[in-house]
Every structure is written in C-alpha cells, then in structure tokens.
Amino acid sequence: MNYIIVSLPVRNLWQSSVGYFTALAVALALPLAHGSFAQEQDPSEATVKVLQSDEASFNPDTVERLLKQGDEAVAAEDLETARRNYDDARGAARALAGFYRDLSGAFRGLDARVPREMDTKGRRSITLQAEANLRLAALYRRLQQPEVAVPLLVDVIKLMTVTNPLGARAYQQLVELGFAETLYQGPGGSAG
C-alpha cells in the first residue's frame, strides 16, 4: 500500500499540527475504508456484550456497585468517598434513564419490543437514582447539612411519587427535617 505524504509550508506550530493530524487521520482512514484492517466476523459466534459485563462502567449493575461501595465507605466512616460514590451512582442512573427514555421514544410505533425493554430498564434506573438520592440525603443529614438533603428528597418524590415506598420514605424525612409538617397517611405512607 502506498501513502502520499503532503508537505506544506509551516506558518506556525498550530497550523502544522492541524495539518499533521489531518494527514494522519486521512492516512489511517483510507485503509479502514477499503477493509484492510477489517476482520470478518462469523455471525454464529457468540458476541461479547461489553456493556453487560461485570467490568462495564455504564449499566445499572455499575450503579448498584457504586451504591454498595458508598455503603461500605459509610460503614468505614469515609464519608467523602461515600459522597463521591453516591453522587456518581446518582449521575450514572440519571444518564441511563435518559438514554433508555430516548431509545424507547425512537422505537415507539415501530417495534413494541424495544420500547418495552427500554421502559423496564428506565424504571430500574430511576429506582436506582431514587435510592442514590436517599442515601446521599441521609449522608448530608449526618453531616448536619439538611439544606443539601432537601432537594434530593424532593427529587425522590418527583421520581417515584409519594405512593411508592421510596417516595414515602423521602417525604417522611422531609417531615423529620421540618421542611414539611403534614404527615402523609395515604397509600405507601406512614400512619403516624
């Protein structure tokens, strides 16, 4: 295979760098476009689903692992690590829920199986986000920062509704903090 090397006059370092990287990108893309580096894959071979593996960093299992690591950090009194783990779990769960929602919408009316799968995964991600919020709120309460816990607890209620046990627990904590005064006694709530 022959490569063409283009020599351009150097005006400044930036322009030469851009030219170099552009030429490098083109030189690498050409063989790929012609299949020189492509490998034939047998569709009958079992494919590895990277995002479903235990080592993957972007799936609901990872969120659960982060929550567990946060719980372990709390037990070890390493509250900063716990906060970081809970916050990472919260962010990952929120992103996953958004992606699942977007995919569900993209396939609505085309193939009912895909939206059904994405909706199920999205609900799991939303539940994990609510759990991360509750744990993070409990951590902030422990650190005597209830003003940081309140928005997290309100978010749990928005995500799960107060009729869900997680939402009811969040509302109960808002009452305990004095942010709300009326006890919720409906479905999922406490009686006293």
**Which range, of 36-40, 72-76, 97-101, 188-192, averages the lowest pLDDT?**
36-40
Contact yes or no for 134/156 (Cβ under 8 A): yes
Q: What is the mean pLDDT of the chain?
A: 79
pLDDT at res. 184: 83
pLDDT at res. 191: 45
Alpha helices in 38-107 (DSSP H): 60-75, 79-107
Question: What tokens were used for 25?
Answer: 């990108």
pLDDT bracket for residue 187 (50, 70, 90): confident
Domain covering 57-177 in this structure, CATH number: 1.25.40
Instruction: Tell me the per-residue pLDDT of 36-47, one tens digit each, with 9 for 90 and over.
Output: 444 445 544 445
Mean pLDDT of 132-159: 96
Mean pLDDT of 85-97: 95
Question: What tokens were used for 29?
Answer: 């893309």
Contact yes or no for 162/182 (Cβ under 8 A): no
- Count of beta carbons in the 10 Å neighbourhood of residue 42: 7
Residue of 131 and 1 predicted with greater confidence: 131
pLDDT at res. 47: 52
Contact yes or no for 60/128 (Cβ under 8 A): yes
pLDDT > 70: percent of the chain: 68
Stated pTM of the model: 0.69
> In terms of Cα–Cα distance, which of 162, 164, 184, 166 is closest to 192?
184
pLDDT at res. 53: 52
